[in-house]
Structures are given as structure tokens and as C-alpha cells.
Amino acid sequence: MRVAVVAEWYPSPGDPVLGIWAHRQAVAARDAGAEVRVLALRRPIPPLSMFHFPPAIGKFGRWIEGARTSLTPWTLDGLSVVPVPFVAPPRPVSYGSWGYWAAPPLARALDRLYAEWRFDVLHAHCLAPAGHAAARWVRRRRGPAFVVSAHGPDMIHVPEDSSVGRRACVAEMAPADLVVANSTWAARRCETIAGRSLRVRVVYLGADVPAAAHVGNGAVRMVTVAHLVARKRHEIVLRALARLDPARRPEYVVIGDGPCREGLQRLVVDLGVSDRVRFLGQLPNPDAVARAAACDLFVMPGVEEPFGVAFV
């Protein structure tokens, strides 16, 4: 069986942990006997947060390098990953329309791939924009089975932020032969968005069982592994930490990077907990897993996780 995977969130040389869950699913499918190729949607336009005065030259330079490498075809764990660049207006309001913008270049990429490597299944990660863009190709050229995996913000925020986003999600699920949800809540949510019953299957995301359990040897150590964005709610952990008796405060290890990092680092100083908090930045996935395994407690008080794969 040949499977073509389409994803917006997928690792690149510039960001090797972005969408690592999508990659691990692709690897698992390959290891189960399927032939797999990946088309990764890439939007090489800097975020609005970079346009301010004075300009952050260093940060902008790093973004340019990351964007350049993300547009380079590469092979990851034996899987071919081909970037599909597209342009679209800035987030957040326009995000629900990105599938319309990505559809033309994705259609050309799928046409080329199907002509040279006739795949049996087209698997899109997230209702929008990847699923929406892929669905437009499926309507035009029926043939491969169309499967979409619903994950998180695509079914929480996109349908609520704009009527365009809701229509995109509904349109994406219409031609799907199967909708894969990562929890029973996610399955119900997809049917609520679609306004009808769907052929949906719940597939819980798994994890490798560690060879040995961690045994603490001293102060309690907490960890969060996540992008530093508001919905992950690192701030709540920091404020709770500050309310504890200084002599009993655990160490808090923060793994990940994102737009909220500078604000969180300032908050750490303001709360007087600098001696208990360490920001390690974004780490390669094996290193992040190893660091987390060396801690006693995983904490992340986010409430917008249909499944919570980071906890697993």
C-alpha cells in the first residue's frame, strides 16, 4: 500500500520537532509495511510579531535561515519529505482560509506525485488548512482513499474564529472516507462541526514505554515540554511555584520555545523564582524525552488539548 501524507505541522531541517507526532505516525505506517511519502505545507512568510521597532535583526536572521531550510526537500528516517510552499495572509483571523491559498500548489504537487507514484491513500493531518486543501484535490480527482486526522486547534479554534474557517472544516470532512480522531471528545467534536454522523474512528496516540522508571534523588523536579504559547499556560505553573514556601519549591524545567518565552522569563524574575526555573529552549526530540524522563512530575495546565499527547 502506498500512502501520501499531507501536513502543515511536520519536521524540517530548521525545526526538527515541529509536528514530530505526524512524522512518528508516518514512520509507524512505513514500519507496518506501507510505502510512505510526505508533502509538507510551508508558508515562508515571517509572523507579524517580527515587524516592530527596533527590528530584532538576529531573530529575523534565524527565521530566514529556518525558512530557507524548510523549503529544502530532505529525507527523514528514510521518508521522503517534499515541501509545498504557499502564501497566505497573516494569522490569526485568516488562518481558516489558508486551505484555499494552499490548495493550488498542493494540487500541483499531488498531481506530480500521483503521476509518478500512484498512491492508494491520501492522509491529511488536521482539518484545516492541510485537510481542506487536500479535500479540494480529492473532489477534482477521485481515486485514492481520503483519510483525515483531527488533532486539536483545527477543531477547537478554526471553526469558531470565522465562518470561513467553519466552512473549510465542513468542506474538508465531506469527501473523507475516514476521519481519525485522537479521543472520543474529538470524534464528537468533528461530528458537531460537520452537523452529521461521520465515519470516524478513535485512535489513541501511543508512546514508547521507558526501559526503567525514574527514581528521584533529591528535590522534586517538574517539567513542561511544549511550545511557549499562551494556550499551554506556563504562567499558571510559575505563579503557583511563587506561592509555595521558598524552602519547598521544586525545580521547574521548561523545554520548548515560542513567542511567549521573553514574557515568561520576565515573569520569572518578577516573581522571584529565577533560582528554581530553567529554560532549556527547543531540544531535539530524543533529548527532550530524556530530559523529561529525568524529572518527577510533568505539568501543563492547558485546557485545549483534545488528547494531550505531550503528557503521554
Neighbours of 40 (CB within 10 A): 29
pLDDT for 63 equals 66
Q: Are 225 and 256 in contact (CB under 8 A)?
A: yes
Q: Reply yes or no on domain 221-298 having CATH 3.30.70.270.
A: no
Full-model pTM: 0.85
Domain boundaries for CATH 3.40.50.2000 within the chain: 2-202, 221-298
Q: What DSSP letter does each residue of 291-306 carry, written as one string?
A: HHHTSSEE----S--S
pLDDT tens by residue, 60-91: 677 677 778 888 899 999 999 999 999 999 88
Handedness of CA 105, 111, 117, 122 (dihedral sign): positive
pLDDT for 121 equals 98
2-202 is classed in which CATH architecture?
3-Layer(aba) Sandwich (3.40)
Give the residues of the chain that fall short of pLDDT 70: 48-58, 60, 63, 212-217, 305-308, 310, 312
Q: What are the φ/ψ torsions at residue 122 (nearest 5 degrees)? A: -110, 115
